[in-house]
Chains A and B, each alone.
Chain A
Amino acid sequence: NAGVIQTPRHKVTGKGQEATLWCEPISGHSAVFWYRQTIVQGLEFLTYFRNQAPIDDSGMPKERFSAQMPNQSHSTLKIQSTQPQDSAVYLCASSLARVGNTLYFGEGSRLIVV
């Protein structure tokens, strides 16, 4: 079991450019979460898929952020027109879709917007 795989591990992008982050959840896990980690905000919820369907995207900045899960083996987080304040570690996590199941995090994608 390879765990949750996130790519790229590091990405530097210029202000105004687009950034796409990929996540491969653990096989068999039907719940996939995206979080943003910063020193100021801690672990900030972005969005949540269950069985590939978007369940809750209340944490997503509406205008420039989007997330998809086209199949059960990967999810993407896309940030358009990146801004310096988007700089953070973006964490993907997966679990079995039942309350009480452990959330397994990937190693994160560190995005730096210059």
Chain B
Amino acid sequence: QQQVRQSPQSLTVWEGETAILNCSYEDSTFDYFPWYRLFPGESPALLIAIRPVSNKKEDGRFTIFFNKREKKLSLHITDSQPGDSATYFCAADNYAQGLTFGLGTRVSVFP
């Protein structure tokens, strides 16, 4: 059973639009939620992360919105650029299990 679920599986947006990536989790003991980005041919790398004490985390064009009650979070990429085209993985962390990743959302940004 997938503990971290992501949707959509793939997403296409035009340059300048906002891409919205969704994530939900099952285990309420998860207490840290990073997003990792994977460019083709490279290794995943940390993009942005949030802890449940916050409901929003912003870093430039990337914003995480977090709803602890519903166990949902989303990553918004505003003013999307072709260079943002990548696979984005939502992950959830607790000390016992370490990081658990979702299956990823493949984002394509067309100029």
Contact = CB atoms under 8 A, between A and B. Distances in A.
Contacts, number: 54
Interface of B: 31-32, 34, 36, 38, 42-46, 49, 51, 87, 89, 93-104
Nearest to A6: B43
Nearest to B41: A107
B3 to A, nearest CB: 10
A103 B31 contact: no
A10 to B, nearest CB: 13
- Interface majority SS on B: helix, strand, loop or mixed? strand
Given A33-B99, A42-B89, 7 more contacts: A42-B103, A56-B98, A99-B93, A100-B32, A100-B49, A100-B51, A107-B42
A50 B55 CA distance: 30
Interface of A: 31, 33, 35, 41-43, 45, 48, 50, 55-56, 91, 98-100, 102-103, 105-108
A91 B100 CA distance: 14
Contacts of A91: 43-44
Contacts of B38: 43
Contacts of B45: 105
B89 to A, nearest CB: 6
A41 to B, nearest CB: 7
B89 A43 contact: yes
Contacts of A43: 38, 44, 89, 101, 103-104
